[in-house]
Structure 1
Amino acid sequence: MYDSILNHPNSLFGQFERLRRELDDAFGVSGFPTSIRSVASGTVPAVNVGRTPSSMEIYAFAPGLDASKTEVTLERGVLRISGERVAGIPANDPKVQVYARERGSGSFARAISLPDDIDPSQVNATYRDGVLHVSIARHESAQPKRITVQ
């Protein structure tokens, strides 16, 4: 339905979409949404943060990253994830005509505040199938303990 609205010659949204494409072509801009119905493209990966009784678990969804160029640091209870996502389509190839560019590219950085009960000496980070997983152990004193009632 939306495609027919955007592609209809008399549609106001279609006219805005054509104008946006013309401006992108004229100024070489690729960081804007690729259509009026898209969300803004960004280079910041989405994250999920959770905890288990023994650890904090952080998942950053960032397909196409080079793990060796991704930096993960933990300092004063703040986890920082930074890196760069390269564009999937060559930018300066005259043979390539881009119709849509929804995947953001460029440098990114995330900062996630963590609770005080983490153990910064026990951190593990892995990157697999486009997901960066960071696991940080919680101090043993912060883990729940079962108390026997007598």
Structure 2
Amino acid sequence: MSSLYYGTDLLNEFDRLQRHLSTVFGGAPTSLRSTQAGAYPAVNVGSTDDSIEVVAFVPGIDPSKLDVSIDKGVLTIAGERARPDAATDAKHYARERFSGAFRRVIELPQYADPDKVQARYTDGCLLISIGKREASKPRAITIQ
């Protein structure tokens, strides 16, 4: 019998090792595009033929207290989320809801046009639409 026999599936061992390394390194991002677990607000970024669509999930925040800006190809969403239980003296054993100031920074592609931006707040979602530059849009070429 080999001394390397673990008695379990090898893939389970790799999964266990990955979980262990995540705790050792504090859940650090594994790539340049990933964010740390618990980053607030959670965002979805997508693209259509005409625009780049960003959805930030910010329930319970007054839209007038959100600050959205674009500078040098970087979209910044900032604000503050108040603690709903700030007035009570309750002791907490666990607290999973984020509260406090936040700032999310999203690097936009080069074809984003900062002059064509629209933002609206609906049902706890901040929807930001950033138009694409005309030169980057697909166009049909006729063959003669």
Q: What secondary structure does 1:64 align onto?
A: coil
Aligned counterpart, 2:12:
none
Map residues 17-28 of structure 1 onto 2, 5 A cutoff. none
- The CA RMSD over aligned residues, in Å, is 2.0
Q: Counterpart amino acid of 1:58?
A: V
Shift of the 115–43 alpha-carbon distance from structure 1 to 2, 3 Å rule, reads closer
Instruction: Give the Cα–Cα distance (whole angstroms) in 2 for the partners of residues 83 and 125 of structure 1.
Output: 15
Could you list the structure 1 runs, at least 4 aligned residues long, displaced by more than 4 angstroms after superposition: 40-43, 96-100
8 Å contact kept, 1:41–1:103: no
Shift of the 71–52 alpha-carbon distance from structure 1 to 2, 3 Å rule, reads same
Identity of aligned residues (%): 49
Q: What secondary structure does 2:64 align onto?
A: helix
The count of residues paired between Structure 1 and Structure 2 equals: 109
Instruction: Give the Cα–Cα distance (whole angstroms) in 1 for the partners of residues 111 and 47 of structure 2.
Output: 11
Aligned counterpart, 1:47:
43
Aligned counterpart, 2:8:
none
Q: What secondary structure does 1:68 align onto?
A: helix
Q: How does the TM-score come out when normalised to structure 2?
A: 0.68
Instruction: Give the Cα–Cα distance (whole angstroms) in 1 for the partners of residues 135 and 121 of structure 2.
Output: 29
Aligned counterpart, 1:27:
none
Aligned counterpart, 1:21:
none
Q: Counterpart amino acid of 2:61?
A: L
Q: What secondary structure does 1:59 align onto?
A: strand
- Any stretches of 5+ residues in structure 1 without a counterpart? 1-39
Q: How does the TM-score come out when normalised to structure 1?
A: 0.66
Aligned counterpart, 1:123:
117
| Residue 102 (structure 1) shift | 1.8
- Any stretches of 5+ residues in structure 2 without a counterpart? 1-35
Residue 110 of structure 1, aligned match among 100, 104, 127: 104
Aligned counterpart, 1:93:
88
CA displacement 1:34-81 (0-9 Å, x = unmatched)? xxxxxx984611111111111110011111111101000000100000
